[in-house]
A = this chain, B = another copy of it.
Amino acid sequence: MGIQNRRERERAERHQLIIDAARELAEEEGWDAVTTRRLADRVEYSQPVLYSHFKGKDAIVRAVAIQGFGVLGQELRKARPRRGQTRLRATAEAYLEFARKRPALYDAMFVQQIDLSFGTEETPAELREAFAEMVAAVEPVVGQRDLETLTEVYWSTLHGIATLTRNARLRTGEHEARLELALGALSLAQQEDRP
């Protein structure tokens, strides 16, 4: 009994060890460098051990991505508006900073194909919670509009800025101006609604 317990605990630890090693390797050298051989080397087990924990490489990336949503959720939760700053802006800045500072993690969450759908029953809690933070940020400016839809637009804008910036498709150095314009646009309707 106790032995079984220890084994399960060790197994869970190794499971997490693999996920961490994959994330670290990706953050150091990009996802192209994350091969099953290098990953196995890093955790000091042979390749087949990976397959006793995950169905395949995709499942490992997927696990990294889900935990990435957990980290994103934390970052957004921590982002409290500074003096004179709206929550909409504080959250947006935190989101974009996350995308910029952890490109490999963001990649796993959004660029690598990992078959992770939102808004269905089996959506992991991490995803739901991160989305909830964005809903809360949008709520103060929603006005007459539909809250969830507006949040999706807000998120899309941030995601678009994040990815286009990364691919060098936007002018550099205009980051602040873009954010200003984007947030201004999303908020303005609120002012419109006031008499």
Contacts and interface: CB of A to CB of B under 8 A. Distances in A.
Interface of A: 110-111, 113, 116-119, 145-146, 148-150, 152-153, 155-161, 163-164, 167-171, 174, 177-178, 181-182, 184-186, 188-189, 191-192
4 closest A-B pairs by CB = A160-B160, A156-B160, A117-B168, A159-B160
Contacts of A161: 153, 156, 160
A174 B167 CA distance: 28
Contacts of A118: 168-171
B146 A170 contact: no
A118 to B, nearest CB: 4
A139 to B, nearest CB: 15
A168 B192 CA distance: 32
Contacts of A164: 152, 155-156, 159
Contacts of A158: 160
Contacts of A186: 185
Q: Which of A158, A169, A192 has the most CB of B within 10 A?
A: A169
B185 A189 contact: yes
A162 to B, nearest CB: 8
B110 A163 contact: yes
A111 to B, nearest CB: 6
